Amino acid sequence: MGQTISEKIVSNHVGKKVYAGEVVVTEVDGVMATDTTAPLALKAFKEMGGNRVFDPNKFALIIDHAAPSPNERIANLHKLMRDFAKEQNSTLFEIGEGICHQIMVEKKYVKPGQIFIGADSHTPTYGALNAFACGVGSTDLAAVMLTGKIWLKVPHSIKIQCNGTLQKGVTAKDLILFLVGKVTVSGATYQAIEFCGEAFEGLSLSSRMTIANMSSEMGAKTGIVHPNGLQLDYDFVSTTPDKNANYIKSFEFDVSDLEPQVSAPESPDNVHNISNFEGTKIDYAFIGTCCNGRLEDLDIAAKILKGKKIHQDTRLIIAPASQSVLLDGISNGSIATLIEAGASLITSGCGPCVGTHQGVPADGEVVISAANRNFRGRMGNPNSNIYLGAPSTVAASALEGEITNPKKYLS
Amino acid sequence: MSVTIATKFRSKCHVYGDHIDTDRIIPGKYTKTLDLSSLAAHVLEDLDPNFKNIVKVGDILVAGTNFGCGSSREQAPLALKKSGIAVVIAQDFARIFFRNAINIGLPVLELGAHDIQKGSELEIDLKEGIVKDLTASKIYTATKLPNIMIHILGEGGLVNYLKKHKNYSL
C-alpha cells in the first residue's frame, strides 16, 4: 500500500511500515520550547521526576514571546529558563536572537525527514524543510524532554495541489491565506497537509516556511511542502509520497490569476480578495512573526517604501524574525530604507503578535499585520480589529493609510 | 480505566459556540505565569466577561466545533480547570488543546453533534462515554478516546502517568 510523506517519515522512525490511524510511540529528532510554554514544561519535567534532559544537543529553549521581559513576573520566568539551560548544559537562545521557528531552521536544529516536536502551535513551519513537525503543549513537551519520545496517531493526509505560477506582486502569503480561506480553520484538524504542485516549486525556503506555518491555521497536525525545488546549503534526502498514497481529501486549484488576499477580523479563514477591503482606514501596520518576518519580507516592504514616507496617521512596526535576518537587512539596506520611511524597529522576536508588549493597539484601532492570527484580543486588546495580509500589502497600506493593493508598487 | 480520578459528574452546563480559540479562553497577555490560580481570573474574558463570576466548581462546559483552536498554550485548559470546570464537551476539539486537556487531567468528550442548551443539567459517565441531558431527556454517546489517553487521564494526567510508568506504553 502506498504511503504519504507523513506515513513515510513516521515509518522510518519506528522501524516498520505504519499507516494513518495507527497509534505509535516514536523517538524524536529535536524538541524546543519558548518563554510561553517552557516554564510550565520545566515544572512538569521536575514533577515527573526528570533530572537530565534525554539529549541536551537535541533540546533548545528560546526566549522570544516576551523578549526583552516587559515586567518582573516574566523576567523571573526567563531567569528560570536560563538557570535550567545552565544546569542541563543545553542551549538557550537569548532575547533578540529571534523567533523559535526561524532559529530552529537557521541553526539547522531541524532537517528534512526528521520528526520535530515544539511547544508552540506554529511548529509545522518546518514542513518547509520536508520534515514532520508538530506543536504540543507544555506537559507533552516535558514528557519528550524526559523520554526522547512522543506518542502520536499517524495522521491522515490532505493533498493540496496548486497549479500555475503566482503573478508578480502576489506572494506565498497570499497563496496560503487563500488556502486557509478554502480549507477553513478546522478543515484539517488532526490531519497532515501535503502542499504540492507548480505554484510551490519555485518558492524560496522562506516562502515555504510561510506556507507550512499557516497549516496550523487549518487545524493541521503538520503541513509538509513537497520537496520539488527545495534548495538547502547542505545535502539532504527528500521524502516524496508514493503515487498510490491514500489521501482523505484532495484539493486542486489554479492560482495563476490569484489576487492579493486579506483575512478580515476575527478568524484567519475569513479571507477575501483585497479589493473587498481596499480603502479601509488603518492605524497601525506590523511586519514580522514566524509567518513573515524574514529577509524577503523586509526586502519587499523596503522596495515599496523606498524614498517614501508612511501615511501620517499610521505607524509601522518591524520585527525581524531573527538577529541574522536583522543583520542581513542592515547589510542590504532594507532596514535603513524602512526606518527612513518612518518604521519603528523592535527586538527580533514575536513582538506584538501575541499581545504581550511592544505595540498593543488602542480601542477601536485597525491593524494590518503580516502575522498569522487575527483572533479577538490576539494583539492584547479585544476592542481592536486585525486584518492579515502579505508584507507587501502591509507596506503599501502603511504608505497610504488604508488597505491597499501592493501590485501597483511591484510591477 | 485504572481510576484515580472521578469518572461521574453531574452539574449544570455553560454553552458556547464554534471555534472558541485559545486567545478567547485565556488571552496571551495572562499566560506567562506559574501562578496557575491567576489564570482563572481571566478565563474566557474576551468571550463572556461574566463567566468567571457565574462558574461553580464541578460545572460542565459545552461547545460546538473546533474548541481550543489557535495556540499551544496549556494555560487554556488549565484556566478552565482552575475556574472549576470539571469536564469539557464539544463537537470536536483542536488537536493541541485536546492533548493538553488530557495531559493536565481535565476530561474532554467529543459528541459528534448535540443540541445541549445553556443551563441544562448534565450527567456524565466518563468510563462509558455517556452524556445524559437530564433537562432535555436526551442521551448522547461520546467518541471513544485512544487507549493511551484513557490511561493518561486515568492517572490524573501525564505527569502522574510518567512518574509512575517512566515511559509510554501503548
Let me know if residue B170 belongs to a domain.
no
User: Whole-number mean pLDDT of chain B?
Assistant: 94
A116 C-beta neighbours (distance < 10 Å), count: 25
What average pLDDT does the segment A149-157 reach? Answer: 97
B169 located within any domain: no
Residue B3 placed within a domain: no
Say if strands A385-388 and A366-369 run parallel, antiparallel, or are unpaired: parallel
Q: What pLDDT, on the 0 to 100 scale, is given for residue B4?
A: 63
Please name the residues between 131 and 170 in chain A that touch chain B, using a CB distance below 8 Å: 135-140, 142-143, 146-147, 149, 151, 153
Of A253, A277, A295, the residue at which a domain comes to its end is A253
Based on the fold, state whether residues A319 and A392 are members of the same structural domain.
yes
Same domain, A208 and A156: yes
Average pLDDT over every residue of A342-369: 97
**Cβ contact (<8 Å) for A137 and B69?**
no
What distance in Å separates the CA atoms of residue B22 and residue B94, rounded to the nearest whole number? Answer: 10
pLDDT the model gives residue B6? 82
Indicate whether A216 pLDDT > 80: yes
Q: Is A280 in the same domain as A398? A: yes
pLDDT at B1: 44
pLDDT tens, A11-50?
999 999 999 999 999 999 999 999 999 999 999 999 999 9
A68 prior amide bond cis, ω within 30: yes
Number of domains making up chain A: 2
For residue B149, being part of any structural domain is answered with yes
Interval A93-99 mean pLDDT? 98
User: Which of A245, A10, A311, A358 is closest to A371 using CA atoms?
Assistant: A358
Chain B positions in Cβ-Cβ contact with residue A355 (cut-off 8 Å):
23, 27-29
Query: Cβ contacts (< 8 Å) between A149 and chain B: which residues?
Result: 167-168
Same-domain check for residues A235 and A282: no
Mean pLDDT computed over every residue of chain A: 97
| CA angle, B32 then A390 then A212, to 5° | 65
Residue of higher predicted confidence among B166 and A204: A204
Contact B95 A221 (CB under 8 A): yes
Tell me, yes or no, whether A149 and A298 share the same domain: no
Helix (H) or strand (E) holding A266: none
Nearest alpha carbon to residue A133 among A124, A121, A143, A145: A124
Mean pLDDT of A301-323: 98
Confidence category of residue A177, pLDDT binned at 50, 70, 90: very high
Cα B144 from Cα B26, distance rounded (Å): 28
Are A243 and A297 within one domain? Answer: no
Task: For residue A361, give the CATH number of its domain.
Answer: 3.30.499.10
C-alpha to C-alpha distance for A301 and A236, rounded to whole angstroms:
32
Q: Which of A253, A276, A302 is the last residue of a domain?
A: A253
Residue A116 near residue A131, CB atoms below 8 Å: yes
Q: What is the ipTM of this complex?
A: 0.93
Question: Distance between CA atoms of A353 and A291, rounded to whole angstroms?
Answer: 10
Residue B80 within any structural domain of the chain: yes
Which one of B21, B48, B72, B164 makes the best mutation probe of the A interface by having the most chain A beta carbons within 10 Å? B72
How many residues does this entry show for chain A? 411
pLDDT exceeds 90 at position B40: yes
Q: Which residue of B has its CA nearest to A43?
A: B34
pLDDT per residue over B105-143, tens digit each? 999 999 988 999 999 999 999 888 999 999 999 999 999
The stretch A281-297 carries a mean pLDDT of 98
Are A73 and A216 in the same domain?
A: yes
Residues A236 and A337 in one domain: no
Cβ separation of B159 and A139 shorter than 8 Å? yes
Chain B CB contacts of A136 under 8 Å are: 72, 96, 99-100
Asked if residue A409 lies in contact with residue A304, where contact means CB atoms within 8 angstroms, the answer is: yes
- In angstroms, rounded to a whole number, what is the distance separating the alpha carbons of residues B120 and B97? 25
Contact residues, chain B, for A356 at CB < 8 Å: 28-29, 32
- Give the position of cell 502517568: B161
Pair type for strands B130-133 and B121-125: antiparallel
User: Cβ–Cβ of B70/A36 closer than 8 Å?
Assistant: no
Residue in the structure block whose three cell numbers are 516556511: A209
The residue type of B59 is D
Backbone angles phi, psi at A210, to 5 degrees: -60, -40
Cβ contact A40–B74 (<8 Å)? yes
Instruction: State whether residue A342 is helix, strand or coil.
Output: coil
Can you give the residue range of the structural domain that contains A363? 261-410
Q: Which of residues 78-107 of A touch B (CB under 8 A)?
A: none
For residue B169, give Cα distances in angstroms to A55, A95, A245.
Answer: 21, 38, 29
Which structural domain, as residue segments, surrounds residue B69?
A: 8-164
A253, A285, A315: which is the final residue of a domain?
A253
pLDDT tens track for A235-280: 999 999 999 999 999 999 999 999 999 999 999 999 999 999 999 9
Q: What is the DSSP letter of A276?
A: G
Contact call for residues B57 and B111 (beta carbons, < 8 A)? no
Inter-axis angle of helices A38-47 and B158-165, to 10 degrees? Answer: 40
Check: CB of residue A145 under 8 Å from CB of residue A59. Answer: yes
- HSE toward the beta carbon, residue A92, CA cutoff 13 A: 18
Interchain CB distance below 8 Å, B157 and A139: yes
Whether pTM exceeds 0.90: yes
Residue B18 inside a domain? The answer is: yes
* DSSP string across A166-223: PPTT--HHHHHHHHHHHH-TTTTTT-EEEEESHHHHT--HHHHHHHHHGGGGGT-SEE
Instruction: Give mean pLDDT, residues A54-73.
Output: 97
Is residue B48 one of the residues assigned to a domain?
yes
Are A345 and A362 within one domain? yes
Q: How far is B157 from chain A (nearest CA, A)?
A: 9
Pair A37, A149 in one domain: yes
Clarify whether residues A393 and A293 are in a common domain: yes
| Residues A399 and A321 grouped into a single domain | yes
CATH at B90 = 3.20.19.10
Chain A residues with CB-CB distance to B167 below 8 A: 147, 149
d(Cα A341, Cα A201) in Å, to the nearest integer? 34
Confidence of residue B169 (pLDDT cuts 50, 70, 90): confident
Domain count, chain B: 1
Highest mean pLDDT among A113-122, B110-119, B145-154: A113-122
Tell me: pLDDT of B3 over 50.
no
- The answer to whether residue B52 sits within a structural domain is yes
